[in-house]
Amino acid sequence: MSFPNLKVAIEGHVAVVSIDHPPANALNAQTFEGLKQMLDAYEHDPQVKVIVLTGEGRFFIAGADIKEFANFSGEQAESLSLAGQQLFNRMEAFSKPIIAAINGACLGGGLELAMACHIRFAAEEAKLGLPELNLGLIPGYGGTQRLPRLIGRGKATQLMLTSEMISGAEAHRLGLAEAVYPAEQLLDEAKKLAAVIAEKSAVAIRFALDAIHTGENTGLEQGLQYEAKLFGEAFTTEDMKEGVSAFLEKRKPQFKDR
């Protein structure tokens, strides 16, 4: 299966998806279309339980393709922003985990995409930032909203207003990345994590992601009620019965993802 500006390798239940738009993997309309098609294809594909998203070559995503929108009107720019936000919102709410393996420059729209992923691993020397103010712009694909939620308002404001780039190691210290590795180990570590997750019940994975996302976008009380609802639904699944039986029988569960 192929998608515009993406390379894909299926390894067990893990899809390793690489942005492939040389020279810098800039986000353009074709890359957005490739990402949409990839999500469409894997959303209901039982073979794929986890997605690892990385960049081909030295870059993760160096930002948006400025040449595409340099002459946009205000109305066109707003539509572009809304379209990008819609795609990244879909990624954030996706029913299967998306792990970003940030292998190099992750700037502007690239960082906004990474922040929409469920988990982020970064190479030590990767460069992350939101440099839009250098162009007289602001982040438009959710950066002003997601970065403060991930690292706090003060530091997020500082990084945005200065257009400062930080290393993968600093991103990890701030909580923007869950782990940091030497570049040559990064993808293998991301795939190891994906393989561990893929051993779980796909139904339980979906319920957990749904509960987390719902709780983040409502209040605590609503989130708790929704968690209880999904907890009850989990008890009706074959995988729950298999998981409990395996625990009591001291063996590894054989989930059927239903």
Catalytic, out of 75, 132, 178, 199 = 132
* Bridge pairing between strands 127-129 and 105-107: parallel
Output the six-digit token pair for 15.
């899809």
Q: Is 112 a catalytic residue?
A: yes
Q: Which helix (H) or strand (E) holds 47?
A: none
Strand 6-11 and strand 50-55: the pairing is: unpaired
- Among the listed residues 112, 178, 189, 233, the single catalytic one is 112
CA distance 241 to 207: 16
Interhelix angle 220-234/202-216, nearest 10 degrees = 170
Q: List, edge to edge, every strand of the sheet that includes 105-107.
A: 59-61, 105-107, 127-129, 166-167
Q: Are 45 and 6 in contact (CB under 8 A)?
A: no
Q: Can 189 be counted among the known catalytic residues?
A: no
**Active centre residues (catalytic):** 112, 132
